[in-house]
Structure 1
Amino acid sequence: MTSSKGLRAGALSLTSSVVIGVASAGPAYSIAATLGLVVAAVGLQAPVVALLAFVPILFAAFGYKELNRADPDCGTTFVWATRAFGPSWGWMAGWAIVVADVLVMASMAQVAGQYTFLLFGADGIGHDATSVWVLLLGVAFMLAMTYLCFRGIDISARFQSVLLTIEFVALVVFAVVALVRVWMGNAGAAALTPQWSWFNPFEIGSFSTFVNAILLMVFIYWGWDSVVSVNEETVDKRSTPGRSAVISTVVLVSLYVLVTVAAQSFAGVGTEGTGLANPEHFDDFFAAIGTAVFGEGLLGQLLVHVLLLMILTSAIASTQTTILPTARTTLSMGVFKALPDSFAKVHPRFLTPTVSTLAMGGVSAGLYIAFNFVSAGNLIFDSVSAIGIAVGFYYGITGVSCAWLYRDTLRDGRRELWMRGILPLLGGAMLLFSAGWTAVTSFASDYGETSWTMPFAPHWQVGGVFILGVGSMLLGLPLMWWWRSRNRVFFDGEIIERRLPGPEARDREPVA
């Protein structure tokens, strides 16, 4: 059985869908790359930041759930924003999904390449992020994951289940062992007993610090929306994807708060030694404190290698599940004439997007190679920060679209008011604010790892995060205008109606 676009309908169960949602966030990779920076900013309040960053994400997930109930299209935000605010807004929302996914692929491929060498003891190569061997292996992982996505959604789901099991078990074991050692009093001099005060946001020094820390933590939740992008391939496509999205976010926040409390309790928040704020291991605290947590014995070393395998599988899983939603977004855009017809092609046997999947893998690999040789590879670090602009935009516009499209039903009851109106709108507003905040603050030359001096007056130095984040979003405008000049049918509003097609809105008049 196939969906209206030719995808394999009913291939994913609720469990498979949740697996894809959790794996898409790359929990181990995300928390390893983010927690040190958050601790350096807010100290002991990192757990409450992890918890509060979850709030707008959960509210946005409610918006996804309600919109998918009425309009389960694999184009998700692209289609819903088009219905709410018109073709141009919808096209840019789809472009934002592409931008975010392509930018982050370089980082995940690099991490996968590095940790493969670290796992097998080749530390010299593994610690050199720009090594040609790391690059080649990272590209190989990209191509392999692209091939798996091409071969079928069911194969992708089974592979994700294996990877996520390794990742999830390793994270829980790490957290439990760290906390047990703290409570037994043999965790070291830097160890701290968990306190409820760690969950008091008012102990954070300034509003600016609070906002920047929240924005860093929002990144670790990004990716769960993949479950909605595969809605047309899921059992009961109107309800299962939305339920999976909410379940995925709850699983993620539970895991993140547990690991954050455990790591902070064991290592402390100092700037030396194993302290989480030590700038020498900002990008991976697991590597810094793994041996201290598990010990140097045979079992300890085995578990340390399990941690390395955990980061590796997390990066590989995220690489695969990043390709899935982007390919389906561009597939939908092709079907609705917002992109060339070639993007609408589906393989007759595997029932997966063909051009969309291969284009995603090819463009991502090309950018990874380019980023690796520009600015000593530091553009890869900046690309991770830059995706916050695109993610905040398309998550935010989804929440706002939900409130707008359901505005005539909000008086039908309390559930409708809160789940379709207030909460999605509030989450959307917060995420749009976060995108704007990142865009403005990242203009500073010292915001990230790279900067660029304007070749014309006033010769400002602009941060690399701004160039990648804002620049890549703005690049969508001439591309949209070019395609509009070639084929106006989508932009004239002739394909997607300005209303929801579900039973809640089917009998209502179209929005003018």
Structure 2
Amino acid sequence: MAAEDAAPGEDRAEGLKANAIGFVDALVIGLNSTSPAYSLAAVIGPIVALVGIYAPGVMFASFVPMLLIASAFYYLNKVDQDCGTTFSWVTRAMGPWIGWLGGWAIAMTGVLVVGSLADVAVSFALLAVGLDGWVDNAFVRQLLTVLLIIVMTAVCVIGTELSAKVQNVLILAQVAFLLVFVAVALYSVYAGTSKYDSVEPSFSWLNPFGAGGAALSGGLLLGVFIYWGWESAVNLTEEVEDSETAPGKAGLWSTVILLVTYVSVGFAVVAYAGPTFLAENADEEEFVFAQLATDVLGGWDWVLLLAVSTSAIASTQTTIIPASRTALSMARRRALPASYGHINPRFRTPDVSTWWVAGIAIAWYLVVNQISSNALFDSLTALSLLIAFYYALTGVACAVYYRRHLLESVHNFLLIGLGPLIGSGLLAWLLVKSVADMSDPANSYSGTSWFGLGPPLVIGIGITVVGIVIMCVWRLRAPAFWAERPGVVDPELVHGKET
């Protein structure tokens, strides 16, 4: 075992509140972390522009690597219930240097995306209540965005139970709004009342290869990341009942439910609006959903606008969870300053790391907005690099950590070894493809060149370099963590916990 003071399954003195939430709560948090309605609003147009009517098929294909990586999360959590997830697991399997970078990637995803999610939540809420002019007022919108981040951070600190209750309400509202949209849109298609060139849905749309290999690869670059975020359920492993299996199952079921949601809405949107309209407006992104909300629901368009808003509000809160819990785990292992591991004595949540994540996210949001709104979108694009990196690391870590047990059964070989490795391979390919695409400034939102490269790639490289510098400095100041050595899973944990 890598470090005795952090062995899996031990009673941690730091005091996260055990058994604070159940399986359903973890499942809801995993779902909300992906921000389903907002994710659909952001990618449906660009995906249709690439693959046309085969957008549902691309969404289905994008699900495959996520399911394989979710399997890795499930089996790694069974033997190591650590809120640091990827950081802890990769450290145990592959050593402290790679593990630290995995943890850094998770923390930075929260910093990059929280401000944007809150901005979307505020914008769509204002549109829903008819305050369109406030959306165009940068000062008002950014002020409300910062206030929303502060409120959602406070909810995270006050307690996991409160977070779960808020999430339960938000997911019910979000799913209800999306179901209303799907039902009315499909009714309009079959009734012939759509104002667009609607087409009747066909099961052939589920063929991801229908538009050709090149279009599929481009669609996967967009589609695979709309599933990102489900692992928030696993980051709460130390606070979930039945922590050995429930968080992992919540992550797995989150991806399945997301698949059904995305494919259903994909069918409805493509059928109602037709591929021509969606392709022509691919660059508008969120505008597409706002426009279709009015066309499909008429005076009830606020229903879908609120769906996107609640989606982004929920994700604003839950996206803070992986970053703050990872920082907590890193501090406990002495990979970060001990202050990040502070637990609020009343609420038993990691208050210091949570507020640090929120504070840095607010600063990033405000600074990037001063550059341009497109720069904010470019920072979101850089997310794909970090996501692909730490997901791929987790898949490899699963196979490496369990390597002495992969040939014990077909089940182990396929679900613990081969599956996660295939998922990692697909994500590594997407990472390389993303780097190639982002190197061209023309492919960025701003269209400008930073040091001869696209802004998203520069942001990704910058975050990596800063992480490496901090890691090396902390290695010199506190070398204890780097004394850990990679190992393999304890056979008693494997054979004693198999289902």
TM-score range, shorter chain: over 0.9
1:316-349 Cα offsets, whole Å, 9 max, x none, are: 1000001111110000000000000001110111
Q: Give the number of equivalent residue pairs.
A: 487
Q: How do 1:338-417 residues align onto structure 2 when only pairs under 5 Å count? A: 338-374=335-371, 376-417=372-413
1:197 to 182, 196, 204: 204
Aligned to 2:23: 14
Aligned to 1:479: 470
Aligned to 1:225: 231
Task: Say whether 1:289 aligns with 2:292.
Answer: yes
Aligned to 1:60: 69
Question: Matched residues in 2 for 1:452 and 1:292: separation?
Answer: 35
1:313 to 307, 310, 315: 310
| Farther-moved stretch of structure 1 (283-292 vs 405-414) | 283-292
1:259-302 Cα offsets, whole Å, 9 max, x none, are: 0000100000114xxx454246323422111122123xxxxx1x
Task: Say whether 1:159 aligns with 2:166.
Answer: yes
Aligned to 2:33: 24
RMSD of Structure 2 on Structure 1 (CA): 1.8
Residue 261 of structure 2 aligns with an amino acid whose one-letter code is L
**Aligned-residue offset at 1:482:** 0.8
Question: Matched residues in 1 for 2:413 and 2:202: separation?
Answer: 37
Does the aligned pair in 2 maintain the 1:386–1:468 contact within 8 Å?
yes
**Aligned-residue offset at 1:23:** 0.5
Residue 66 of structure 1 aligns with an amino acid whose one-letter code is Y
Task: Say whether 1:499 aligns with 2:488.
Answer: yes
SS of the aligned residue for 2:453 comes to strand
Aligned to 1:212: 218
Aligned to 1:39: 48
**Aligned-residue offset at 1:440:** 2.4
Residue 177 of structure 2 aligns with an amino acid whose one-letter code is A
Aligned to 1:88: 97
2:460 to 469, 473, 480: 469
Distance of aligned partners of 1:335 and 1:21 in 2 relative to their CA distance in 1, 3 Å threshold: same
Q: How do 1:29-178 residues align onto structure 2 when only pairs under 5 Å count? A: 29-126=38-135, 128=136, 131-178=138-185
Aligned to 1:242: 248
Aligned to 1:439: 435
SS of the aligned residue for 2:423 comes to helix
Does the aligned pair in 2 maintain the 1:182–1:265 contact within 8 Å?
yes
**Aligned-residue offset at 1:219:** 1.7
Residue 477 of structure 1 aligns with an amino acid whose one-letter code is I
Does the aligned pair in 2 maintain the 1:80–1:90 contact within 8 Å?
yes
**Aligned-residue offset at 1:15:** 0.6
Distance of aligned partners of 1:489 and 1:280 in 2 relative to their CA distance in 1, 3 Å threshold: closer
TM-score (ref. length: structure 2) = 0.94
Question: Matched residues in 2 for 1:398 and 1:115: separation?
Answer: 35
Question: Matched residues in 2 for 1:414 and 1:221: separation?
Answer: 28
SS of the aligned residue for 2:187 comes to helix
1:456-499 Cα offsets, whole Å, 9 max, x none, are: xxxx5211111122321232111110111111110121xx7623
Does the aligned pair in 1 maintain the 2:109–2:323 contact within 8 Å?
no
SS of the aligned residue for 2:209 comes to helix
Residue 321 of structure 1 aligns with an amino acid whose one-letter code is T
Residue 198 of structure 1 aligns with an amino acid whose one-letter code is W
2:187 to 157, 180, 185: 180
SS of the aligned residue for 2:348 comes to coil
**Aligned-residue offset at 1:215:** 1.4
**Aligned-residue offset at 1:436:** 2.2
Aligned to 1:426: 422
Higher helix proportion (structure 1 or 2): 2
Residue 458 of structure 2 aligns with an amino acid whose one-letter code is I
Residue 72 of structure 1 aligns with an amino acid whose one-letter code is Q
Aligned to 1:261: 267
Residue 227 of structure 2 aligns with an amino acid whose one-letter code is Y
Does the aligned pair in 1 maintain the 2:449–2:455 contact within 8 Å?
no
**Aligned-residue offset at 1:502:** 6.6
Does the aligned pair in 1 maintain the 2:293–2:305 contact within 8 Å?
no
Residue 488 of structure 2 aligns with an amino acid whose one-letter code is R
1:423-457 Cα offsets, whole Å, 9 max, x none, are: 11111111122122212220111111235656xxx
**Aligned-residue offset at 1:196:** 2.5
Residue 412 of structure 1 aligns with an amino acid whose one-letter code is E
Does the aligned pair in 2 maintain the 1:451–1:462 contact within 8 Å?
no
**Aligned-residue offset at 1:211:** 1.5
Does the aligned pair in 2 maintain the 1:3–1:233 contact within 8 Å?
no
SS of the aligned residue for 2:197 comes to coil
Residue 199 of structure 2 aligns with an amino acid whose one-letter code is L
Residue 483 of structure 1 aligns with an amino acid whose one-letter code is W
Residue 290 of structure 1 aligns with an amino acid whose one-letter code is A
Distance of aligned partners of 1:189 and 1:110 in 2 relative to their CA distance in 1, 3 Å threshold: closer
Contiguous gaps of at least 5 residues in structure 2: 1-10
Question: Matched residues in 2 for 1:242 and 1:476: separation?
Answer: 28
Question: Matched residues in 2 for 1:394 and 1:248: separation?
Answer: 19
Residue 473 of structure 1 aligns with an amino acid whose one-letter code is T
1:379-422 Cα offsets, whole Å, 9 max, x none, are: 11112211010000111110111011111111111111111111
Residue 262 of structure 1 aligns with an amino acid whose one-letter code is A
Does the aligned pair in 1 maintain the 2:93–2:486 contact within 8 Å?
no
Question: Matched residues in 2 for 1:34 and 1:502: separation?
Answer: 44
Identical aligned residues as a percent: 38
Question: Matched residues in 1 for 2:323 and 2:405: separation?
Answer: 31
Question: Matched residues in 1 for 2:441 and 2:330: separation?
Answer: 36
**Aligned-residue offset at 1:351:** 0.2
Question: Matched residues in 2 for 1:420 and 1:206: separation?
Answer: 29
Task: Say whether 1:489 aligns with 2:480.
Answer: yes
| Farther-moved stretch of structure 1 (135-144 vs 411-420) | 411-420
SS of the aligned residue for 1:320 comes to helix
